[in-house]
Structure 1
Amino acid sequence: MSQALEDLLDLLDLEQIEENIFRGQSRSAVVPRVFGGQVAAQALVAAGRTVPADRPAHSLHAYFLRPGDPGAPIVYTVDRIRDGRSFTTRRVVAVQHGKPIFHLSASFQTYEEGLEHQAPMPASPDPETLPTSQERLRGYDHLAPEVVEKFLEAREAIDLRYVEEPPYGQFGEPREPHSQVWFRTNGKLDCAFDEPLLHVVLATYVSDMTLLDSILLAHGRGGWAVGDVVGASLDHAMWFHRPFRADEWLLYDQESPSAHGGRGLGQARIYTQDGQLAITVIQEGVVRVPRA
């Protein structure tokens, strides 16, 4: 396990300060606010620690309300909405400086047999043949060195590999609003931290990194890294269909069906390397062109 991955696990391992109250630390991301995936992942940890281990998470729905302050801890309060025979529901509010910054509802289910079908996995190259984030980012002369370092630091715990050029790597000409990324943790997970919740939490963390890329591709925009778009996550939803491991390759197949009114929608499916549909993700975000 890499040191960066150990640090990420420490970040997600919340301190319990009361029966339904947890506290998490923060760190900055590529922009001067708390990374949305961190808040979502920590909130899911808080919810999951009030649920029996034999009820894995099957969905979450969340709203980003205010930018998080990376210099202050975040307090997560869990409301135990319902404990049914098959399903458990939790609501989590994340608070900083006395104000809510994030709201999450999550549902957990006891495993049961049922009908089975799934959308087929799209074609994609072997992730081992693709350049790493470091190899790709180090090759971009148009990005400022401090931007490259921020990206690499933010993704150091995750081995994330784009199938094609990311928005900030090749911009100016519109492309199909579709993006593929392979990802896994930077090292094998061998710890007692909340298995199997840990894998779901880490996928939640990564899911906020690239989902709005396809919006930028449709308009030939490079995003924050080149300063031609200002954006932020507004809401986020995930459905966990089948078991998976976050330390094994996962294909994040993303597309954008719409952008309008200063907002853009991203939707995606996450597959295991052997073709199992593991997760569906949908997110809407603010996507604004800076005024001259």
Structure 2
Amino acid sequence: MKASVQELMNLFDLEQLENNLFRGQSEANGQRSVFGGLVAGQALLAASRTVDDARPVHSLHAYFLRPGDFNVPIVYYVDRIRDGKSFTTRRVDAIQHGRPIFSLAASYQVAEEGVSHQSVMPDVPGPEGLENDEGIRMKLVDRLPEQFRKDFLTDRPVEFRPVTPKDSISSEPQDPVREVWFRVVDRVDANPMTQRALLAYCSDFGLMGTAMLPHGMNFWQPNVQCASIDHAMWFHNDFRIDEWLLYRSDSPFSGGSRGLNFGSIYRQDGTLVASVAQEGLMRLHPSDSPTE
């Protein structure tokens, strides 16, 4: 297994401290705080480890409360709110330094048949032949502030191949739509609950930036302050995180220093596997003022 993927899987190997109490390791990835997708994925996995495997998660709703400290582990307390005949509900608080940094509620359901429909996958080129994000990052790195360059080029466990590459550093307005193929770059032999936790992790990559596109904003501008506010996901069908998935995101609205983003994730055969929604802070400061 590639080293970067092994490191990722180590992050999703939660330590059980006591009934309903788990601990996960954090990591620095060039941001000021712990990556939100990591906290969401670990929290979902902690909740899932208190639920029977026959009841897969079908939705989560979460709020980011405080920046996470990547220098210390994260403790997850799971509240077993309800175990019903068909549905199970869990609430999770992620705790650092004695205070919650993240709160998640997740719902699980016994598998059952029912009427079904789904949106059609966008008609886009497949991932084969598209340039991966590593090559794109190499072209952009010289335009980044010096302090971001090392982390920008770090080997990553998830590969992204944009259908239509966008200049993520440009200040030119662009349409608020992204379409990108992604997968974990090595085989992941993990159970379905871990696969879904890893999808929660991946779903936070680039999503908030969709709302920034029409305004020429990006994460590396010193006068831009950005942070995830909330995150919601609905899981529809099974998938493998090491096989290509298409992530289409769009932003219908921004205002009040917040941007709203929606996403749909498809398997290569066109099956919709998950839907995502997130609102994020995207505050633009005067160029001569601090961002904190």
Normalising by the smaller structure, the TM-score range is over 0.9
Give me the identity figure in percent: 49
- Distance in 2, matches of 1:151 and 1:57, equals 33
Answering whether residue 272 of structure 2 is matched by residue 273 of structure 1, we say no
Give the deviation of 1:239 after TM superposition: 0.1
Secondary structure class of the residue paired with 1:129:
coil
Matched residues, number: 286
**Match for residue 158 of structure 1?**
158
**Match for residue 100 of structure 1?**
100
- Distance in 2, matches of 1:167 and 1:31, equals 20
**Match for residue 258 of structure 2?**
263
Give the deviation of 1:179 after TM superposition: 0.7
- Distance in 2, matches of 1:163 and 1:30, equals 25
Give the deviation of 1:228 after TM superposition: 5.0
Whether the 8 Å CA contact 1:240–1:280 is kept in 2: the answer is: yes
**Match for residue 187 of structure 1?**
186
**Match for residue 198 of structure 2?**
202
- Distance in 2, matches of 1:24 and 1:275, equals 34
- Distance in 2, matches of 1:47 and 1:175, equals 38
| Cα distance change, pair 152–55 in 1 and its aligned pair in 2 (3 A) | farther
- Distance in 1, matches of 2:257 and 2:167, equals 18
Answering whether residue 209 of structure 2 is matched by residue 213 of structure 1, we say yes
Whether the 8 Å CA contact 2:138–2:153 is kept in 1: the answer is: no
Gaps of 5+ in 1: none
1:62-86 CA-to-partner distances (Å, cap 9, x unmatched) read 0000000000111100000111111
Q: Which amino acid aligns with 1:84?
A: G
1:29-78 CA-to-partner distances (Å, cap 9, x unmatched) read 23121000000001011000000011111000000000000001111000
Give the deviation of 1:151 after TM superposition: 2.8
Whether the 8 Å CA contact 1:166–1:213 is kept in 2: the answer is: no
**Match for residue 43 of structure 1?**
43
Secondary structure class of the residue paired with 1:55:
coil
Give the deviation of 1:167 after TM superposition: 4.8
Give the deviation of 1:152 after TM superposition: 3.5
2:231 aligns with one of 236, 240, 247: 236
TM-score (norm 1): 0.94
Gaps of 5+ in 2: none
Considering only aligned residues, what root-mean-square deviation do their CA atoms show, in Å?
Answer: 1.4
**Match for residue 127 of structure 1?**
127
Give the deviation of 1:206 after TM superposition: 0.8
Whether the 8 Å CA contact 2:55–2:110 is kept in 1: the answer is: yes
Secondary structure class of the residue paired with 2:159:
strand
- Distance in 2, matches of 1:199 and 1:145, equals 35
TM-score (norm 2): 0.94
